[in-house]
Amino acid sequence: MNDETNDGRMSIIVRTIATMLLPFVLIFSFYVIMHGHLTPGGGFQGGAIAASAIVMMIAAYGHKMMGKRVSEDGLSMAESIGAAIFAIVAFIGVIMAASFMYNFLVGTPLFGETPPFGGNPGILNSGGILPILNIAVGMKVIGGLAAVVMIMALAGDERGDEK
């Protein structure tokens, strides 16, 4: 990883395995985020898994090449959009039912189904505003953690140049 001759990249074996693993890790993270109201996990856990996928690509390909593909501005924008969606959805409840974070989506076609009584594995299309809040938190965590790692990698690079 610290080899300066090939621009911080690792060997071809590591790069190929990381490229093959990336879609599986991302799909698993989106599964954890989308099933946040049914199974263990949620926005933070899924976002941490997706950010670890980005960290894996940074370790395999080097932060210079990943800095060209994934911009810090985009990650910061994803973080801010996630926070904005969370706040907006929470305040719509105030407008519609005079209660902060009121679950105004129950009964509507969007995440509005009611699961039956008794033991059941859960319905994905249920939960009201909870899946939307999970997606917002997931966007925020992906942007935040990936931006922290990428900015720190770039800053460490500048520090190494000074020495």
Partner 1 sequence: MISLFGIALIILSIFTIIPAIMAVVMKDLLACVIALAIMSLLLSLYFYLLHAPDVAIAEAGVGACITTALFIIAIRATQRYEVEE
The smaller minimum CB distance to partner 1, of residues 45 and 82, is found at: 45
Residue 142 engages partner 1 in binding (rule: CB under 8 A): no
Q: How far is the CB of 119 from partner 1 (least distance, A)?
A: 19
Residue 22 engages partner 1 in binding (rule: CB under 8 A): no
Place of tokens 């074996």: 13
Amino acid of residue 134: N
What does the DSSP assignment read for 64-129? HHHHHHS-HHHHHHHHHHHHHHHHHHHHHHHHHHSSTT--TTTTSTTT-B-PPSSS----SSBSTT
Q: How far is the CB of 39 from partner 1 (least distance, A)?
A: 8
3-state secondary structure of 2: coil
Residue 145 engages partner 1 in binding (rule: CB under 8 A): yes
| Alpha-carbon dihedral sign for residues 30, 35, 37, 39 | negative
Q: Which of 22, 52, 83, 102 binds partner 1 (CB under 8 A)?
A: 52
Per-residue tokens: 62 = 């080097």
What span, in angstroms and rounded, lies between the C-alpha atoms of 138 and 29?
Answer: 9
Residue 21 engages partner 1 in binding (rule: CB under 8 A): no
The smaller minimum CB distance to partner 1, of residues 51 and 105, is found at: 51
Applying CB under 8 A, the span of 52-60, 83-91, 95-103, 128-136 interacting with partner 1 comes to: 52-60
Can you give the binding site for partner 1, defined by CB under 8 A? 1-2, 32, 40-42, 44-45, 48-49, 51-52, 55-56, 58-59, 145, 148-149, 152-153, 155-157, 159-160
